[in-house]
Structure 1
Amino acid sequence: MTLKLVYRGMLVHSTRDTPLEILKDYLLGVDSKGKIAFIEKGENVEGLSKEWGFHTSDVIQLEQHEFLMPGLVDTHIHASQYSYSGTALDLPLLDWLNTYTFPVESKYKDLDFAKDVYTKVVRRTLCNGTTTACYFATIHTDASLLLGQIADEFGQRALVGKVCMDCNSMVPYYKETPEESMDETVRFIHELLKKEYANVKPVVTPRFAVSCSSSLLYTLGEIAKNNNLHIQSHISENKEEVKLVQQLFRDCRSYTDVYLKHDLLTDKTVMAHGCYLTDEELEIFHEKGAAISHCPRSNISLASGMLNVRKVLNNNVKLGLGTDVAGGYSPSVLDALRRAMDTSKFLSMQDAQLQTLTFEEAFRLATLGGSEALSLDDQTGNFEVGKDFDALRVNMSVPGGPVDVFPGQGPKIILEKFLNLGDDRNIVEVFVAGRKVVPFTEL
């Protein structure tokens, strides 16, 4: 197997046993298929060069304040809402959807509009280090297929979902009939899989229980099962939403029970928010292997609630981070990481017994935790031989950057500074499956 590139320097990542492992002077080789070929101590460079057939002069040496880390994983983002991110944050969830979201999402029948927004959101998230994104699109099949095409062209790893919703929309022109939703979902899945994109796959996407009839939910559960597909939706984001679900599904014991009874809670399911899940519901998540996407920026911006991350982790439920654009106004997973730590501290002020989230744990949620939540951890999420090389090259001394580094500050402090203060200026290279996707080349 020939090598594509070899880096030498500091590597930081998470493992299954520790939230943060720092490898100070290591060599990482990437093969021609974009997979990690070896991770060895730097002192072994001569032997590795003979074994793998590369010249030591080919090794890319990271600078003093540079490091490689796994790519960031956004487990929940509405690509279709990116056009109004940073605005329209004055209403609670259900009013917000009907006033702002549904009218904007209805515009995606216009493919020129869709192409403009989807190109910009994929570019922006890649610049911010998001190598994997789990996208909600809209109810429009062709525009959703276009999002998949754009993600593939830019090289982003993506799960793309055509939204399904057949009831309870206060915007009459933005919903489907049950038959339309079922038929178009099948068409979307068929057409996207037929493209055979290397790293872009479909995800079955009921918007949430409020906007889907029981018959539609049952059908989507069958579609996901028959095609072995991922599933994404929302759960327990807002108190009024939780009450409404109880009224709409009176035969279900809980919000979680709604998805459970419709076969939508599997080991390939990720549910956004989960602010009000009970211990009993979290136990069901654990038993089914389903995951939660923690979207703290959105939870705060829409005044929805605060997820107790420690309770989720103590229940051994898979957990990742989501930006939830545009309820969350930043497209950066780094922002989600920071708000996750803030939320943990807010909750600890109310309960002194609560152990706050450490930056090492938050780092894990943003990388390996996200890949586990999306059931992609066999391919990506950390640096292991055989996994795809999804990575960021971070330079903390980049000219004009947002962070100052001082003498004597070691690797752990440098990483912590990046997580708390860094931005896209520090992310000088982005790789997905060994392909350098940032800086951009003309498509």
Structure 2
Amino acid sequence: MDHTKMANSHRASAATARVFRGTFVHSTPQMALQVLDDVLLGVNTDGKIAFIGNGAELDKLSQKFGFVPSEVTQLAQHEFFMPGMVDTHIHAPQYMYAGTALDLPLLQWLNTYTFPVEAHFKDLELAKRVYTQVVKRTLRNGTTTACYFATIHTDASLLLAQIANDFGQRALVGKVCMDRNNTVKDYKETCQESQDETCRFIAELLNKKYPLVKPVVTPRFALSCSGALLAQLGATAKNNNLHIQSHISENAEEVKLVKELFPESKSYADVYHKYNLLTDKTVMAHGCHLTDEELLLFKETGASVSHCPNSNISLISGILDVRKVLNHEVKLGLGTDIAGGYSASLLDSVRRAMDSSKVLTLRDPEYNTLTFEEVFRLATLGGSQALSLDDQTGNFEVGKDFDALRVNIAAPGGPIDMFQCEKPKILLEKFLNLGDDRNIVEVYVAGKRVVAADSKIQQEDHFKL
């Protein structure tokens, strides 16, 4: 092949599917907020970011990457792109009663409301209705990646994975495991049943070869799992190199009972560590009452914390000291924790995280309050790091998947009134504090547009609804 043909071949292979021009905001490990003004961002046909360049170099970049300048999508004055948000902890079946049943503390809440509702998900028609709505709702609210708890029912859990795949959401889906301390008659499994069904769930889901949806090993929490089951699940996760999710130190009563159930362990975190459930692919929800020693164990193992501030307050469980977690260099993201948290929007998690930090400052005026820029990072890059997916998503870096929200601060009929032209940092702050789904005019996952401005979930390419 001569040089001319090689050049043409290179241009063809580098051709981009979409190119956007405008303002992009994201986080890096070094910067809580980086504003990229008037940039061109190209997305390959495989959904990965092909290039990021200066808008003034349009002609040069169009020749290099093989796109037509007139086909570039230009963002409007009050628009910007931000990375898709990452919900590191959400219970999909509990969406059925979200916004209610917030009058009891955690353990009583589980037995009174949660377990009876989850027991109904052996009904696949019910599961289909609820799971379809929770995936649509979270996508519409800008959640491009979700880490889902399902129920103990294998087939319904597989259905949740299928629905997430069909709508184009990036997801980790877990069949819940629990073999003790459950008073609900129709919501029980033995240790062997739990292990067998977990293995079936993992095998069948991996066999589907969904590009963006993977299984996650899911012991509900130490109180509901025997040591034998925890040991089996730890081995299963290790043998299959899988993600792990559970709860830890959410509520003071729970921490006390775990100590009584596992007297041989030094701490709640040590229980999970003993059974090989603290790894660099583990995310543990809440952690309100974790000690410094436990956080050191999280740092050593690479395990992460999911901060669920709405739930922590709504169930009166505690307030997580996020600054302490970050100072221990433990990975941390945000979770909605539906339905302990009443909102399926991560924007609510952002706001409650800032509120919780300010409550800690009320207690101690010397406390280093979280900034909105830091919480923005937790909702995006921090979440991808917590789920060990930051090599694929979380910010705008060449080679990563284009998971993104197109935000219009001045969307017609939206909740934000604009009185003058503002800089991008102010626009982002207004969106985080005041915005809602009306401001999210497009959602992209792995380069595919899955939500468009008409508020309807779109199907593009291989996404079939």
Per-residue CA deviation, residues 159-186 of structure 1 (Å, 9 max, x unaligned), is 0000000000011221210010000000
Matched, 1:174 2:174: no
Alpha-carbon distance between aligned partners in 1 of 2:66 and 2:422, rounded to the nearest angstrom: 36
Matched, 1:188 2:201: yes
Matched pairs, number: 443
Give secondary structure in 1 for the equivalent of 2:197: helix
> Of 101, 112, 130, which residue of structure 1 is paired with 2:143?
130
Give the structure 1 partner of residue 111 of structure 2. 98
- Cα deviation, residue 303, structure 1: 0.5
Letter matched to residue 386 of structure 1: G
Give the structure 2 partner of residue 363 of structure 1. 376
Give the structure 1 partner of residue 11 of structure 2. none
Give the structure 2 partner of residue 401 of structure 1. 414
Is contact 2:169–2:212 with CA below 8 Å preserved after alignment? yes
Which shows bigger deviation, 86-95 or 169-178?
169-178
Per-residue CA deviation, residues 189-233 of structure 1 (Å, 9 max, x unaligned), is 000000000000000000000000000000000000000000000
Matched, 1:279 2:296: no
Alpha-carbon distance between aligned partners in 1 of 2:411 and 2:184, rounded to the nearest angstrom: 48
* Pairing 1:406-417 to 2, within 5 Å after superposition: 406-417=419-430
Letter matched to residue 238 of structure 1: N
- Cα deviation, residue 405, structure 1: 1.9
Give secondary structure in 2 for the equivalent of 1:310: helix
Give the structure 1 partner of residue 447 of structure 2. 434
Alpha-carbon distance between aligned partners in 1 of 2:256 and 2:116, rounded to the nearest angstrom: 25
Letter matched to residue 391 of structure 2: D
Letter matched to residue 300 of structure 1: I
Give the structure 1 partner of residue 323 of structure 2. 310
Give the structure 1 partner of residue 155 of structure 2. 142
> Of 365, 381, 385, which residue of structure 2 is paired with 1:372?
385
Is contact 1:405–1:414 with CA below 8 Å preserved after alignment? no
- Cα deviation, residue 16, structure 1: 1.1
> Of 50, 59, 62, which residue of structure 2 is paired with 1:49?
62
Alpha-carbon distance between aligned partners in 2 of 1:28 and 1:411, rounded to the nearest angstrom: 17
Is contact 2:449–2:458 with CA below 8 Å preserved after alignment? no
- Cα deviation, residue 441, structure 1: 2.7
Is contact 1:229–1:268 with CA below 8 Å preserved after alignment? yes
Give secondary structure in 2 for the equivalent of 1:293: strand
Alpha-carbon distance between aligned partners in 2 of 1:390 and 1:130, rounded to the nearest angstrom: 10
- Cα deviation, residue 408, structure 1: 4.1
Per-residue CA deviation, residues 355-379 of structure 1 (Å, 9 max, x unaligned), is 0000000000000000000000000
User: Alignment identity in percent?
Assistant: 71
Is contact 2:141–2:437 with CA below 8 Å preserved after alignment? yes
Tell me the TM-score normalized by structure 1.
0.99
Give secondary structure in 1 for the equivalent of 2:164: helix
Structure 1 spans left out of the alignment, 5+ residues: none
Give the structure 2 partner of residue 335 of structure 1. 348
Letter matched to residue 117 of structure 1: V
Structure 2 spans left out of the alignment, 5+ residues: 1-13, 460-464
Is contact 1:155–1:437 with CA below 8 Å preserved after alignment? yes
Give secondary structure in 2 for the equivalent of 1:166: coil
Give secondary structure in 2 for the equivalent of 1:386: coil
Give secondary structure in 2 for the equivalent of 1:159: strand
Give the structure 2 partner of residue 84 of structure 1. 97
Which shows bigger deviation, 403-412 or 315-324?
403-412
Alpha-carbon distance between aligned partners in 1 of 2:438 and 2:337, rounded to the nearest angstrom: 22
Give secondary structure in 2 for the equivalent of 1:125: helix
Give the structure 2 partner of residue 344 of structure 1. 357
- Cα deviation, residue 19, structure 1: 0.5
> Of 18, 42, 49, which residue of structure 1 is paired with 2:31?
18
- Cα deviation, residue 52, structure 1: 1.4
Give the structure 1 partner of residue 250 of structure 2. 237
Alpha-carbon distance between aligned partners in 1 of 2:372 and 2:246, rounded to the nearest angstrom: 27
Give the structure 2 partner of residue 261 of structure 1. 274
Alpha-carbon distance between aligned partners in 1 of 2:225 and 2:103, rounded to the nearest angstrom: 26
Letter matched to residue 283 of structure 1: L
Give secondary structure in 2 for the equivalent of 1:143: helix
> Of 230, 233, 254, which residue of structure 2 is paired with 1:217?
230
Is contact 1:323–1:330 with CA below 8 Å preserved after alignment? yes
Is contact 1:403–1:422 with CA below 8 Å preserved after alignment? yes
Alpha-carbon distance between aligned partners in 2 of 1:50 and 1:432, rounded to the nearest angstrom: 26
Matched, 1:152 2:165: yes
Give the structure 1 partner of residue 9 of structure 2. none
Give secondary structure in 1 for the equivalent of 2:244: strand
Alpha-carbon distance between aligned partners in 2 of 1:164 and 1:393, rounded to the nearest angstrom: 38
Alpha-carbon distance between aligned partners in 1 of 2:377 and 2:169, rounded to the nearest angstrom: 20
Letter matched to residue 27 of structure 1: L
Give secondary structure in 2 for the equivalent of 1:244: helix
Give secondary structure in 1 for the equivalent of 2:238: helix
Give the structure 2 partner of residue 120 of structure 1. 133
Alpha-carbon distance between aligned partners in 1 of 2:327 and 2:234, rounded to the nearest angstrom: 28
Matched, 1:390 2:403: yes
Is contact 1:192–1:202 with CA below 8 Å preserved after alignment? yes
Give secondary structure in 2 for the equivalent of 1:398: coil
* Pairing 1:68-83 to 2, within 5 Å after superposition: 68-83=81-96
Give secondary structure in 2 for the equivalent of 1:304: coil
Letter matched to residue 41 of structure 2: L
Is contact 1:76–1:133 with CA below 8 Å preserved after alignment? yes
